[in-house]
A and B are shown apart, each in its own frame.
Chain A
Amino acid sequence: MHEEHGISIWFFIGSLLVIYGLIIVIASLPALFSPAANPHIVLAHLHAGLWWGALMLLLGIFYVVMYWPAKKHERPS
């Protein structure tokens, strides 16, 4: 976090989590409809990609909204 000005590091992190969350959710969808899509993955039936991607997406949205550059906010200390 740069103190006096500029975009918060948490905004960058939130943005990246949103993008990554979306990519992981999309990449994990085929396995939901075709259980044999990733035969080498242990416990593939848990669909870890879907819920982990969704979790990242939600966390990312939270940080993007909290630290949106146009919004005046407290320092994240």
Chain B
Amino acid sequence: MMPLCSSMLSVLLASSSLISLGWADVLIIVIYFAMVLGIGYYLSRYTKTGDDFFLAGRKMTMWIAGLAFISANLGSLELMGWAASAYQYGILATHWYWIGAIPAMLFLAIVMMPFYYISRTHSVPGYLKLRFGESARMLAAISFALMTILMSGVNMFSMALVMKVIIGWDINFSIWVSSITVLVYVVLGGLLSAMFNEVLQFVLIWAGALLVPIIGLMEVGGWKGMVARIHENFPHGDYTHLWSTLGHFKDNPMGIHWTGIVFGLGFIISFGYWTTDFLVVQRVLSAKDLRSAKMAPIIGSAFKMLVPFIVILPGLIGLAVMPGLVGQDQAAATGQPSYNEILPLMMARYLGPGLLGLGITALIAGFMSGMAGNITAFSTVWTYDIYKPIHLAITGQEVDDRHYVRMGRWATIVGIVVSIGTAYLVEHAASIMDYVQALFSFFIAPLFGTVILGMLWKRATPAGGFWGLLAGTASSIGMWVWVRVDPRALSIIAGSPDAKAMAEDMYRALWSWLICVAVTVIVSLATRPKPEVELVGLVRGCTEIPSEGHLPLVKRPIFWAAVVFIAFLILQVIFW
């Protein structure tokens, strides 16, 4: 054991270009790994049935489900990436946390959650099976499983690269240690273990990252002092207004129009991700009752609204105190520091011994919570939506629950091995990363169109659901290819010659959603609908939603959703 320990320590203490760790920092990181493994081992005794392994026994409180819901999304690439975007685009990056999240999360809680929860589905593709039949389920399940596992590998490699740049860790070391740790605690405790660790990781992310904006604001003289210094450093750009520069594509550093932000991001992409991506929805399905399932996204949305404080603000403070950071390509060519590392740069600027280890632990925790989220969602969709129907079709007989738990554990192992393989593939062909990220975006918007019509429109038929989903996805892929073949196509898709790359995603999502909805409606009107009796528990108008009228106001989800939404509106006005 000793040679292994000493070699691990030598990797952990390796010198780097950005940050050097001391004994306290290393100790904090090592204790973190021990703690998450310990939690996995401890919880393994409670994971026996399929519901335990895949849905944490459906016994989670609203707080655990809500914090895990938000933590699974709060990956370290999210933290690093949006801090870098804040440096690049200014406060506009906040749109991805506010209009790009809050309305959708509240919509999930109040409108969609009752149908997911009452239908007792194990997954989002599982809901599609109940509502639209096997074809739509298989299409959604296979695309989700494939993309989730590839994204997990891409994130794994990106994180290993970040660790190499920031603290000099060997890429192989980062990939294998973090993967094996996630593997052990997910295989042992399933979703229960993943969610417990996500809550722990959520606390660590805040504990490790919160000091940076606090000390940063003290250095620059508060918000007003920061804005003044940014204007001094960048007199020709507006980096501190959320909406007032979105009147024209040319007026803001992102090259986007407010319609793209409101309809593309705020409506389609955001609703698509937060209401149909099983990675996050799975956490809410684990809630112990319908009220908890509705409250969980509302709790998550309140914390989501605060995340810009630890992600966007460090990027903005960076604009004030570290002007001159450059993009990745220029950094690689000139050796100058890149704004992609703004978050660790700010940590190195303000955090002393111990605190730095906590900050790095926050990044590792973010990575592991994101990876565990991907893996648990993958194993559930694989087991229930791909393996189970195929197994049933081949053998013609049901098998017991333990069989599926074993399959879930194997899917976890295989999923992580495929992720590791993807990570090494990306290492040797970096362009794969762009393709995988693009592939993921193809499915989100059309899937939202299919699910929302399925929940709210009784007349939507199985054929309509399947062909709408297929048409929306195909059109999204088609538009992406069109822009790659002829870059001028971007101006047609976005409706302006001044549109930049960021606008492409917004408008492609919008168009693919519209196509999905149009095809679903047309095909549905031309085909025979399901009898209403088969839609009970699945569709609005055919499902009795339990009343909350007997509850005091402060216990009603709708009340807290209204509170969060009003806070969201106030923030838009303050930072207009």
A→B interface (CB under 8 Å) = 1-7, 9, 12-13, 16-17, 19-20, 23-28, 31, 38, 40-44, 46, 48-49, 52-53, 56, 75-77
Q: List 29 A-B contacts (CB under 8 A).
A: A1-B60, A2-B43, A4-B59, A5-B46, A6-B42, A6-B46, A7-B42, A9-B64, A9-B199, A12-B39, A12-B196, A13-B199, A20-B28, A20-B207, A23-B31, A23-B357, A24-B353, A24-B354, A27-B23, A28-B354, A41-B349, A43-B215, A49-B352, A49-B354, A52-B211, A52-B355, A53-B355, A77-B61, A77-B292
Q: Cα distance A6–B200 when bound, in Å?
A: 16
Chain B residues contacting A48 (CB-CB under 8 Å) are: 211, 215, 350-352, 355
Q: Cα distance A22–B510 when bound, in Å?
A: 51
Q: Cα distance A66–B35 when bound, in Å?
A: 20
Known: A24-B24, A42-B349, A77-B62. A13 touches B200 (CB 8 A): yes
Smallest distance from the beta carbon of A49 to chain B beta carbons, Å?
5
Q: Cα distance A7–B160 when bound, in Å?
A: 33
* Residue tally, chain B, CB below 8 Å to A: 42
Chain B residues contacting A53 (CB-CB under 8 Å) are: 354-355
Q: Cα distance A20–B288 when bound, in Å?
A: 32
Contact residue among A1, A42, A49 (Cβ-Cβ distance under 8 Å from B355): A49
Closest to B56 in A: A2
- Interface assignment of B63: CB less than 8 Å from any CB of chain A: yes
Chain B residues contacting A23 (CB-CB under 8 Å) are: 24, 27-28, 31, 354, 357
- Interface assignment of B218: CB less than 8 Å from any CB of chain A: yes
Contact residue among B24, B43, B349 (Cβ-Cβ distance under 8 Å from A27): B24
3 closest A-B pairs by CB: A27-B24, A27-B354, A24-B354
Chain A residues contacting B354 (CB-CB under 8 Å) are: 20, 23-28, 49, 53
Chain B residues contacting A49 (CB-CB under 8 Å) are: 351-355
Residues of B33-76 contacting chain A, CB below 8 A: 35, 39, 42-43, 46, 57, 59-64
Q: Cα distance A44–B349 when bound, in Å?
A: 10
Number of CB contacts from chain A to chain B under 8 A: 114
Q: Cα distance A76–B61 when bound, in Å?
A: 8
Chain A residues contacting B401 (CB-CB under 8 Å) are: none
Contact residue among B215, B288, B358 (Cβ-Cβ distance under 8 Å from A46): B215
Q: Cα distance A13–B67 when bound, in Å?
A: 13
Chain A residues contacting B196 (CB-CB under 8 Å) are: 9, 12
Q: Looking at B22, B24, B211, B288, which has the most chain A CB atoms within 10 Å of its CB?
A: B24
Chain A residues contacting B218 (CB-CB under 8 Å) are: 43, 46
Besides A27-B24, A41-B350, 15 more A-B contacts (Cβ < 8 Å) are A2-B59, A9-B64, A9-B196, A12-B35, A16-B31, A20-B31, A23-B27, A23-B31, A27-B352, A38-B353, A46-B215, A52-B355, A75-B61, A76-B63, A77-B61
